[in-house]
Structure 1
Amino acid sequence: MMVSLPRRVRVGLLTSACLYIMGGWALAQAETLDFRQAVDIALKQNPELLGVQAQMAQARAGIAQAEGSRLPKITVSAGVTRTNDALNAFGIKLSQRQATFNDFGANQFLGPQSLGVAPDNLNYPGSVNNFNTRIQAELPLYTGGKLQGYLQQARSMLMAAQSGDQAARQQIIYHALQAYDGVYTARAFKGVAAKALEAAQSQVKTVDSLLKQGVVIKSDLLSAQVRQEDVKLQQDQAANMESQAMDALHVVLGVPLDQPITLGPEVAVTMPQGDPSTWVGQAMERNPQIQALQHQIAAANGKIEVARADRYPQVGAMARFDTNDPRLGFESRSYTVGAQLNWTIFDGGVTQNAVDQAVAQRMELQAKLQAAQNQLGMQVQDSYRKALDAANQVKTRELAVTQAEEAARIVNKRYADGVGTLVEVQGAQAQLDKARADLIMARQQVNMQRAALRLALGDLTLDATQPMAPTAAPASGSAAGDAPAKP
């Protein structure tokens, strides 16, 4: 029998490569890496999680920016001007409190007959200098809900990023479990191949003995030797699968492929507590991906309020303090206070189109949420059924192994007594190898389906896993090392 991991297991192990990030982590040769330590390493080095944390930092900055918009905006400015423009020059002199009657051309006024004379001092002033310093404060009094919309949007995006962080962490735990358990699954298949080789070698000895006694023909010995060589090839393939699974674990952890790892005990995922009939409702409330979509919808509501705010008047207050001097100084002081109302009565539909666009974006998110909720409900039910089915399969496969072992023992004895055929012996051994492989896959599916169920419920944490007592010596530290196979 060809001992190989099913395609879905191999693909699952290889897809963990998307989590790869090279790190400087080094593990001592004698140190044991248990599942909790593996998850901790993966969480520290995972690029997806770092990206989510950056999103949270952006959202926090957005909240601070929105809150800061409610406070007065204070600016300080300083400038110097030199001009001979008639209007500006006269205005600068007024600001400097230095305007005189002569600036109006008083020296050219000689009575009523001078009313038509254009005064030179007023129309052709000399160049004037002005040093201006200004402190100005502006405060929004009413924005039609725009600032509140910005704040709602920023806070909702932060909560969405936090939910995304939880989802990313649980996904990392799932992938780490997939890779960690994959190593033990591959080693269990390697153990099946080792038992198959042991049986094949025993079969060759038995056939050779019977041939010497004249009980069987030489073709039986050749057939047994071919079987033995075929099983050796299968054992090499199983060893390669173990190396592949160990490489996948290195990739998940971000560890160099040549770095030796000594695995701790296997882990078992526990079934979640509670009533299965209520799990779908719990998943809708606790699944972080669903929560992230809900917060994104709340952020979309904030965006709608921001767009609608342009329909309403914008009111603000202003206070300003100025100094204007012909040379650097702060002698001529003035202040200005006031309030202003701006209200756009007609903008060609720009505001309405912006509102419509924001509403459409919210509708898109609501549709995504509905689809995700429908998919999640199906995922919870499917994972629960598959977890139960896998547990039942374990019991069935254990009985199948016991039956296949007994059948192989009887057939081998019959052949040794000369009343059976080699075809029967090899067929019984093939059935035993298959039963053992099926048992391994059933046990692996119990773990992964339980993990998928907890992932859907938003409850896949380290507390959901328990170390299993080893059945033999601890696992070897290198990719080529021997390890106790899963029973």
Structure 2
Amino acid sequence: MLTFREFCTAGDSSNALSVGGTKRFAVACLLLVPFLLATAAAAAGEKPTALRLEQLIEMALAENPQMGVARGALKAADARLGQQQAGYYPKIAVEGRIEQVTLNAATPRESRSYLDFSSIDPSLGRVYVANPDEDMTGYTRTSAAVSAEYMLVDFGRRNGGVRSAEERLGAARAALSGTENETVLNVVSAYFNILKAEELVGVERESRSRKREAVKLARTLHEAGRGTVGDVARAEADLGQAEVELTRAENELQLSRLALRRAVGVAPGGPPLELSRKSRLADPGRLVSELDALVERAIGRRPEVEAQQRTIAATQAAVQKERAEYRPSVNLFANYSVQRYEDQDAAANYGLGVQVRWSLFDGGLRSNRVGETRAQLIQEQERLRDLQLGVATDVRDAQQRYREASERLRLTGKVLTASELDLKLARKGYKEGIRTFYDLSVAESNYRNAMAQRVVAQYDLQGAIARLYWSLGSMDSLYGEDAGSVAP
């Protein structure tokens, strides 16, 4: 199975990259097999195969429409490079014609034949012969021609166009890599959001079960004369609130499942994707402590930055191309033609020469084109500066998120342990009559909140790790040194 790292380095271009269409089609078919098997199993009432995070990522890289858009942009950039490279080749054309024509022609009076009678009678002078009557009889004429043209010198026009197209191809390739990273981040986030939502549903169901037991306990003690009507009312209110929280959690789960299908690139209808709960991301370890030193490295590794740098280089080459329009061009041309009329021998002609063309005045067209391209260059340079600032901010933001999630996970573990003990003591004390139902209700709510906070912290940490790798441009390190493995 194609790993994420292999997918990132695979070619997808004909001029500068190897064509991988057949390979990608086969990979897409293989990656869809688990999803199709899961759908078929669900339709047959069987338990579908659980999908690992790695499988979801590879499905998304093959099927997400945004990936298709990025690949299409790469192929278009490759085709534009081919268009620019075509300028270095001669242009050859052939032409053949068969036509019915007339050969009438008007002749100026001075060029007609004449008879000079001035020697006989000076008054007569010259008598010009009249034009012949028009003959509308058509003649069949056939002709064939071949012509060739080649630009010998253009003072940098073609070179600038090719360089610009090459850089834009590189930018499109980097943009594809950036789209891959965004797709992976979206899938990872959606995956852990589902696991978080599923566990929160479990927490709310467990809380509802405890609230039901509390209602039974309050009623039993009330009937035994050891509790109050207020205890029963509060227990029932707590149960109603638990139902509300469970409904909210179940809705969040459905929304998370929709988000995952959207990230993977499959239709929103159909059975839910069954997920393996064992996938975890590699601990960033030293990356956190060394993060400040890695900001510059991140700027160099983020595909978005590379794409923008390539765009700047392409615009600089475009400026060179536009400035070359001020200079002349030298073309070599040659042609050969054959023409004949019906029942006559053919007549052949040829031409061969060099043409120099130099546009001296164009009303400011070239100068304005150069000015426009230079202005675009300034825009792209400012976009790069803004992007670099954004990358540095992303890295520090991801670092802060990771540290906060790690600390929150540690603290929620302590809170959960204390809340669990408090709930046991409150339940025991209420049965023994030394604690009020209010104490039990508060302890129950605190325990439920601690459980939920613990679940949220666990999966927020996974999301923070994913965002950290994304900010560093290291999405192929999600699973550690082996990008194709998933650590349980």
Distance 1:119 1:216 in 2: 139
Q: TM-score normalised to the size of structure 1? A: 0.80
Structure 1 residue 58: Cα displacement: 1.2
| 1:433 partnered with 2:452 | no
2:415 maps to a residue whose letter is: A
Distance 1:73 1:329 in 2: 32
Match of 1:208 in 2: 219
Match of 2:207 in 1: 196
| 1:56 partnered with 2:74 | yes
Match of 1:415 in 2: 430
Q: Which moved more, 1:68-77 or 1:342-351?
A: 342-351
Q: Kindly tell me: are residues 121 and 464 of structure 1, through their superposed partners in 2, closer, same or farther at Cα, counting changes over 3 Å?
A: farther
Q: Is the 8 A contact 2:466 2:478 kept in 1?
A: no
Secondary structure, aligned partner of 1:322: strand
Q: Is the 8 A contact 2:54 2:486 kept in 1?
A: no
Match of 1:45 in 2: 63
Q: Is the 8 A contact 1:325 1:331 kept in 2?
A: yes
Q: Is the 8 A contact 2:117 2:126 kept in 1?
A: no
Q: Is the 8 A contact 1:86 1:123 kept in 2?
A: no
Q: TM-score normalised to the size of structure 2? A: 0.80
Q: Kindly tell me: are residues 213 and 163 of structure 1, through their superposed partners in 2, closer, same or farther at Cα, counting changes over 3 Å?
A: same
Structure 1 residue 86: Cα displacement: 3.7
Distance 1:261 1:170 in 2: 22
Match of 1:265 in 2: 277
Where do 1:166-177 residues align within 5 Å? 166-177=177-188
Secondary structure, aligned partner of 2:353: strand
After superposition, give the CA deviation of every residue in 1:198-233 in whole Å (9 maximum; x if it has no partner): 322332343334334433223212322332233233
| 1:383 partnered with 2:398 | yes
Structure 1 residue 336: Cα displacement: 1.3
Match of 1:298 in 2: 313
Where do 1:24-39 residues align within 5 Å? 26=36, 27-29=39-41, 30-39=48-57
Match of 1:76 in 2: 94
After superposition, give the CA deviation of every residue in 1:153-172 in whole Å (9 maximum; x if it has no partner): 21111111111111111111
Distance 2:343 2:453 in 1: 91
Percentage of matched positions with identical amino acids: 21
| 1:288 partnered with 2:303 | yes
Distance 1:316 1:118 in 2: 47
Distance 1:60 1:297 in 2: 18
Structure 1 residue 354: Cα displacement: 0.7
Aligned residues: 431
Indicate which of 230, 233, 236 corresponds to 1:225.
236
Relative contact order, CA 8 A, sep 6+: which one is greater? 1
Q: Kindly tell me: are residues 32 and 118 of structure 1, through their superposed partners in 2, closer, same or farther at Cα, counting changes over 3 Å?
A: farther
Q: Is the 8 A contact 2:261 2:267 kept in 1?
A: yes
Match of 1:358 in 2: 373
1:66 maps to a residue whose letter is: Q
Distance 2:363 2:227 in 1: 99
Q: Is the 8 A contact 2:402 2:464 kept in 1?
A: yes
Structure 2 unaligned residues grouped into runs of 5+: 1-31, 42-47, 120-124
Q: Which moved more, 1:296-305 or 1:117-126?
A: 117-126
Distance 1:38 1:60 in 2: 29
Q: Which moved more, 1:25-34 or 1:338-347?
A: 25-34
**What is the RMSD of the two structures over their aligned residues, measured on CA atoms?**
3.1
Q: Kindly tell me: are residues 81 and 314 of structure 1, through their superposed partners in 2, closer, same or farther at Cα, counting changes over 3 Å?
A: farther
Distance 1:236 1:361 in 2: 53
Distance 1:155 1:387 in 2: 39
Q: Kindly tell me: are residues 436 and 324 of structure 1, through their superposed partners in 2, closer, same or farther at Cα, counting changes over 3 Å?
A: same
Distance 2:65 2:281 in 1: 26
Q: Is the 8 A contact 1:86 1:122 kept in 2?
A: no
Distance 2:180 2:344 in 1: 61
Secondary structure, aligned partner of 2:148: strand
Structure 1 residue 117: Cα displacement: 6.7
Where do 1:36-185 residues align within 5 Å? 36-79=54-97, 80=99, 82-86=101-105, 130-185=141-196
Indicate which of 249, 266, 274 corresponds to 2:260.
249
